[in-house]
A and B are shown apart, each in its own frame.
Chain A
Amino acid sequence: MNLAALTIEHMYIVFIAILISVAVGIALGVIAYWVRIADKFILWTVEILQTIPSLALLAMLMILFGLGNVTMIVGLVLYALMPITRNTHTGLSDVSPFIKDAAKGMGMTRLQRLIKVELPLAFPLIFSGIKIALVNSLSIAVMGVLIGAGGLGYPIYRGIQTLNMKLILSGAIPVVLMALVFDFFMSKIERRLLRRA
């Protein structure tokens, strides 16, 4: 059992999941912002997904997708949607109406306004959503071991089953360290983005 390989696999699962949820989450946030009727429904749905207990969600996904990394990635994506979608929606809605009006007055289309004006201004808030999603995902990904996915959950669960404290910690310490390191650096970037905004 190679700890480095497990750590890399853990990060790989989390990163793929975050990439997908950034794409889906921002898209949902934009839809919620553009289509007024849909916003309550979309925000409500992602919030409910977040509320479902992780063990329950993963176990149900396992019935659908079988054992393996794919199931874990789907589960992480569903969990990571909430912070990203909500922050995208809030960020876009909070852009000053004067700026939106100015962009409209310059003859920008809806899509141009979104890409050139609104998204850049909302980015600091979207970024903090991504940070929350990433840090949470790192710790939820530990449960992957229960549904046949790889990563650092493996030594942890092995340790629990054999009541071996050393084994538990050999998996837990890298997970917590990763979460703290990502949290630290992304908070720094976040602060810099906010200051510029």
Chain B
Amino acid sequence: MSWIEFAQKNQTLMLDCLVRHIELVCFSVAAGMIISIPLGIFLSRYRKLANPVLSLAGLIQTIPGLVMLGIALVFLGIGMFPALVVLTLYALLPILRNTYTGITEVDKSLIEAARGIGMTGAQILFKVELPLALSSIISGIRISTVYIVSWATLAGLNGAGGLGDLIWTGLATYNSTYILAGAIPSAIMALVFSGLIGIVKRLLTPRGLREVRV
């Protein structure tokens, strides 16, 4: 239990790392959402573009995190900004793909019915398509968030801080106390974020669309 003692003795350090880690995750997932959701809606209107754009985002996803952060280090230098750029790139694909599939899988007859009662394009988007695609979009956000909590530990490499800093220090000095002080909170954080988003998803789903438990 020495890492707990360590955490108690270094409360400010731990708190700084924790807060920075949460900042990295929240900012990059938010940026990912701001880019991906409108882009996903756009792709659902121009479906011919969907395949190339999704493949490109998929290609980014196959590049190992260490490599991306390394490249960002060479070109963008040290600090929080390069790390945020890389993390945002990783956050894009799951949200984009799920927004796109969520909207394209909305039943055609529902859209026709909406048009039939005189809804405009924007009304159809906001009152029919997006609510129906919501659970898929939120699943995408959840996947992104879990990834980003994980990749953000690597961002210690770029001097962006966060819990990864403690792990990197521990790895470099072969000090298991430091490793555990960074690894255990980051593992818990991934689980907590995933659980919280699951709860948000349940709350936001309209009652009629909730899964029926048999």
A167 CB, min distance to chain B CBs, angstroms: 9
List residues of B (130-149) whose CB comes within 8 Å of A's CBs. Answer: 146, 149
**A17: B residues at CB distance < 8 A:** none
B181 CB, min distance to chain A CBs, angstroms: 11
Asked whether A55 lies within 8 Å of B164 as measured between CB atoms, the reply is yes
A61 CB, min distance to chain B CBs, angstroms: 10
Q: Quick check: is A77 within 8 A (CB to CB) of the other chain? A: no
B188 CB, min distance to chain A CBs, angstroms: 9
* A142 in contact with B67 given A51-B187, A55-B150, A183-B62 (CB within 8 Å): yes
Asked whether A63 lies within 8 Å of B73 as measured between CB atoms, the reply is no
Q: Quick check: is B171 within 8 A (CB to CB) of the other chain? A: yes
Asked whether A56 lies within 8 Å of B74 as measured between CB atoms, the reply is no
List residues of B (169-202) whose CB comes within 8 Å of A's CBs. Answer: 170-171, 176, 179-180, 182-184, 186-187, 190-191, 194
Q: Which of A55, A159, A180 has the most CB of B within 10 A?
A: A55
Asked whether A168 lies within 8 Å of B71 as measured between CB atoms, the reply is yes
Option from B69, B150, B176, B184 in Cβ contact (under 8 Å) with A54? B150
* A48 in contact with B191 given A53-B150, A63-B179, A163-B74 (CB within 8 Å): yes
Q: Quick check: is B64 within 8 A (CB to CB) of the other chain? A: yes
List residues of A (44-69) whose CB comes within 8 Å of B's CBs. Answer: 48, 51-57, 59-60, 62-63
Asked whether B67 lies within 8 Å of A156 as measured between CB atoms, the reply is yes
Asked whether A56 lies within 8 Å of B63 as measured between CB atoms, the reply is no
Q: Quick check: is A143 within 8 A (CB to CB) of the other chain? A: yes
B209 CB, min distance to chain A CBs, angstroms: 22
| Chain A residues within 8 Å of chain B by Cβ, number | 34
Q: Quick check: is A93 within 8 A (CB to CB) of the other chain? A: no
List residues of A (128-162) whose CB comes within 8 Å of B's CBs. Answer: 135, 139-140, 142-143, 146-147, 153, 156-157, 159-160
CA gap between A52 and B190 in the complex, in Å: 7
Asked whether B190 lies within 8 Å of A53 as measured between CB atoms, the reply is yes
Asked whether B167 lies within 8 Å of A59 as measured between CB atoms, the reply is yes
**B151: A residues at CB distance < 8 A:** 53
**B184: A residues at CB distance < 8 A:** 56
CA gap between A175 and B67 in the complex, in Å: 10
Q: Quick check: is B17 within 8 A (CB to CB) of the other chain? A: no
A65 CB, min distance to chain B CBs, angstroms: 12
Asked whether A56 lies within 8 Å of B191 as measured between CB atoms, the reply is no
Contact with A along B56-68 (1 / 0, CB 8 A): 0001001111110
CA gap between A135 and B88 in the complex, in Å: 21
CA gap between A174 and B66 in the complex, in Å: 14
Q: Which of A53, A59, A171 has the most CB of B within 10 A?
A: A53
Option from B67, B74, B183 in Cβ contact (under 8 Å) with A53? B183
Asked whether A172 lies within 8 Å of B171 as measured between CB atoms, the reply is no
Residues of A at under 8 Å CB distance from B? 48, 51-57, 59-60, 62-63, 135, 139-140, 142-143, 146-147, 153, 156-157, 159-160, 163, 165, 168, 171-172, 175-176, 179-180, 183
